[in-house]
């Protein structure tokens, strides 16, 4: 039996995933969480999933990429599949760098979700079919498709938190960094993306599909 944890800030999504998984006799949902922080808490309370379905873009203190890193510190053998509404870079590479072994878009068929869970449980990587058409599964790396691909994992993490409206102090507290370090990351992000402020960052993120129109 493959034990699963679902991490998504939308209850409707969690219920939908749970309904799909309930039809499979070899899968069992043992825990759910509405945020990265809650997922970490559930594991510390004793939840021990084999596979985690992790939403990438969650509001609050900890996004899916950082939650992936922290879960793997607590459960080194857990297999994490990232879920996102987006199939384009740089999120797949950032997630891979954080230690995840799978990536699916939320529009994938139910069968593909089940196939992905069973594959990663066997130790195999699994990438959304649409993404796999453009990428080598082994490395998840290829021709850069957006300027965001120039950012390191930590820089992308900070950029996503800036896009979420968080100030340097809040980012520093969440990531256990100094205010000065976060300021340096912000400056480096702006330099790499050739922009000068948060408004330009938001426009660039919208243009390259990092955030949806309603978020901009």
CATH number for the domain harbouring residue 122: 3.40.50.2300
Number of structural domains found in the chain = 2
Which among 109, 132, 155 is the end of a domain? 132
Residues contacting residue 167 through CB under 8 Å, at least 6 positions apart: none
Mean pLDDT to the nearest integer, 161-188: 86
Token readout for 65 is: 């990429």
What confidence tier does 138 reach under pLDDT thresholds 50, 70, 90? very low
Q: Does residue 68 share a domain with residue 29? A: yes
Q: Which residues pair with 81 in a beta bridge?
A: 53, 102
What domain range includes position 161? 147-215
Which pTM value belongs to this model?
A: 0.66
Would you give the distance in Å from CA 2 to the centre of its chain? 21
The answer to whether the CB of 65 falls within 8 A of the CB of 94 is: yes
Of all helices (H) and strands (E), which one includes residue 73? helix 64-74
Furthest CA-CA distance within the chain: 53
Question: Over 80: is that where the pLDDT of 208 sits?
Answer: no
What confidence tier does 149 reach under pLDDT thresholds 50, 70, 90? confident
Evaluate whether residue 142 is within a structural domain: no
What confidence tier does 143 reach under pLDDT thresholds 50, 70, 90? very low
Question: Over 50: is that where the pLDDT of 1 sits?
Answer: yes
Which among 132, 167, 183 is the end of a domain? 132
Q: Does residue 183 share a domain with residue 90? A: no
Give CA–CA dist 216/213, Å, rounded. Answer: 5
Which among 132, 165, 183 is the end of a domain? 132
Would you give the distance in Å from CA 203 to the centre of its chain? 21
pLDDT-wise least confident of 22-26, 39-43, 106-110: 106-110
Question: Over 80: is that where the pLDDT of 175 sits?
Answer: no
Q: Does residue 125 share a domain with residue 167? A: no
Tell me the backbone φ, ψ of residue 5, rounded to 5 degrees: -120, 135
Mean pLDDT of the chain: 83
Evaluate whether residue 139 is within a structural domain: no
Q: Does residue 58 share a domain with residue 7? A: yes
pLDDT at 46: 93
Evaluate whether residue 33 is within a structural domain: yes
Token readout for 128 is: 């959304």
Q: Does residue 182 share a domain with residue 158? A: yes
What confidence tier does 209 reach under pLDDT thresholds 50, 70, 90? low
Mean pLDDT to the nearest integer, 81-98: 76
Evaluate whether residue 138 is within a structural domain: no
pLDDT-wise least confident of 37-51, 87-101, 173-187: 87-101
Of all helices (H) and strands (E), which one includes residue 164? none
Q: Does residue 164 share a domain with residue 111? A: no
């Amino acid at each position: 039996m493959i034990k699963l944890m679902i991490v998504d800030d939308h209850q409707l999504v969690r219920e939908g995933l749970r309904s799909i998984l309930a039809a499979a006799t070899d899968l069992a949902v043992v825990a759910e969480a509405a945020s990265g922080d809650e997922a970490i808490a559930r594991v510390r309370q004793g939840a021990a999933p084999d596979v985690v379905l992790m939403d990438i873009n969650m509001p609050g203190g900890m996004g899916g990429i950082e939650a992936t890193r922290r879960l793997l510190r607590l459960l080194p053998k857990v297999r994490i599949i990232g879920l996102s509404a987006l199939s384009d870079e740089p999120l797949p590479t950032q997630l891979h760098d954080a230690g995840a072994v799978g990536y699916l878009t939320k529009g994938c068929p139910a069968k593909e979700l089940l196939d992905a869970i069973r594959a990663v449980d066997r130790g195999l990587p699994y990438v959304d079919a649409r993404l796999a058409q453009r990428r080598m599964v082994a490395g998840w790396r290829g021709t850069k498709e957006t300027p965001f691909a120039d950012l390191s994992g930590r820089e992308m993490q900070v950029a996503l938190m800036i896009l979420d409206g968080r100030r340097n102090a809040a980012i520093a507290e969440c990531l256990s960094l100094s205010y000065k370090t976060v300021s340096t990351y912000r400056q480096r992000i702006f330099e790499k993306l050739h922009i000068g402020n948060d408004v330009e960052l938001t426009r660039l993120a919208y243009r390259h599909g990092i955030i949806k129109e309603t978020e901009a």
